Chains A and B, each alone.
Chain A
Amino acid sequence: MNKKILQIILIFLILFISIKANALTITCNQSLMEVENSYNYLAKASSLGYSSDYIINLKESINYLNTGINYNNETSCMNSYIISKNISLNGQKILNEAETQYYIKLIENIFIIIVFLVFSYLSYKYLTSIYWWLWLKTHENYEVKKND
């Protein structure tokens, strides 16, 4: 009878340990997958020259992941998962912001170049007449006298 109880306890312990170990692996693997997922969004945004606070958050998530993986800390993996999940949920928003910012900057730069080219054309075309118009304005009281 005692032997049977011992066997049951042993089986229970083996099952419990394997389930526990498996749960830890899954959690850490899941958080790694979530980190990779959020990184993909941030990398795309970063290649468009976009930088956001989400990068700091992902770094924090990776720190938790490192602790979780190397020191078998389930809570750290869980924390990592929660943070990176939050980033990946906002992934599309981050990408949209990055694209908007990229196109605004592109249009802004092209606009500035066009403005300077237009200025140069206008100055070439009208600056001489503006110069003489100003000259006449400042010399309105000029009197021309005959030099005898």
Chain B
Amino acid sequence: MIDKKIRNFTTGFFIIIAVIISINFAMSYWKPGPYSLLALLNDNKELGGYPSKVPVNSSTSLYVYIENHENKIALYQIKIYIVNSSFIVNSTHYPNWKPYYVFYDLINNNQNDTIPFNVTFNKQGDYKIVILLYMFNGTNFVFTGLYNQLYINSTVA
């Protein structure tokens, strides 16, 4: 009968819409991650093509790139060090003294930001630019385990 067909179709239509809205609603609570990303960019804001040899007392421009997927707004602390190239850096062993630069950055969830900085080497030698990413956990800044390093040879021009 046509009347029952219309009834079943309409009822089914409303149920499907309710189910779709429920799934959509539940999905809004499902959040992947959380994680952050750290990268070092060259002076054209690109990955790769980093300077490997720079003259003494000349300024080198670089950018720090950070991406936030922490499912909330995040306050980052970026510490930039210039260390001897022999200094070993990993997620457990890293410089802990006064940095060359310290930057703070506030990034919305699923957003990114780039921070420019300049480095000048006063003496010739083999150096390493080390970037460490810290995140504020509500009471203090905690090292995220994310770091980046760039070997640079500073020579007399």
User: Looking at chain B, what size class is its interface with the partner chain?
Assistant: 20 to 34
A112 within 8 A of B: yes
Please indicate the chain B residues that have their CB under 8 angstroms from the CB of A36 in the complex: 75, 136
Please indicate the chain B residues that have their CB under 8 angstroms from the CB of A49 in the complex: 28
Q: Are A128 and B18 in contact (CB under 8 A)?
A: no
Q: Are A70 and B103 in contact (CB under 8 A)?
A: yes
18 A-B Cβ contacts within 8 A? A32-B104, A39-B136, A43-B72, A43-B138, A46-B72, A46-B109, A47-B71, A47-B72, A59-B106, A62-B104, A66-B103, A69-B102, A109-B25, A113-B18, A128-B3, A128-B4, A131-B2, A131-B7
A123 within 8 A of B: yes
Interface string of A5-49 (1 = CB under 8 A from B): 000000000000000000000000000100110011011001101
Q: How far is the CB of A124 from chain B (nearest CB, A)?
A: 4
Once A43-B138, A109-B25 are accepted as A-B contacts, the answer to whether A119 and B14 lie under 8 Å apart by CB is yes
**How long is the Cα–Cα vector from A119 to B10 in the complex, in angstroms?**
9
Q: Are B21 and A116 in contact (CB under 8 A)?
A: yes
Closest A residue to B22 using CB positions: A113
Once A39-B75, A39-B136 are accepted as A-B contacts, the answer to whether A128 and B21 lie under 8 Å apart by CB is no
User: Looking at chain A, what size class is its interface with the partner chain?
Assistant: 20 to 34
Q: Which residues of B contact A (CB under 8 A)?
A: 2-4, 6-7, 10-15, 17-18, 21-22, 25, 28, 71-75, 101-106, 108-109, 136, 138
**How long is the Cα–Cα vector from A59 to B105 in the complex, in angstroms?**
7
A78 within 8 A of B: no
With A43-B74, A43-B75, A116-B15 known, 13 other A-B pairs at CB within 8 A are: A35-B75, A35-B104, A39-B73, A47-B71, A51-B108, A55-B108, A66-B104, A109-B21, A113-B21, A117-B14, A120-B10, A127-B3, A127-B7
A142 within 8 A of B: no
Q: How far is the CB of B131 from chain A (nearest CB, A)?
A: 14
Closest A residue to B139 using CB positions: A36
Please indicate the chain A residues that have their CB under 8 angstroms from the CB of B71 in the complex: 47
List A45-74 residues whose CB lies under 8 Å from chain B. Answer: 46-47, 49, 51, 55, 58-59, 62, 65-66, 69-70
Please indicate the chain B residues that have their CB under 8 angstroms from the CB of A132 in the complex: 3
**How long is the Cα–Cα vector from A59 to B75 in the complex, in angstroms?**
10
**How long is the Cα–Cα vector from A119 to B7 in the complex, in angstroms?**
11
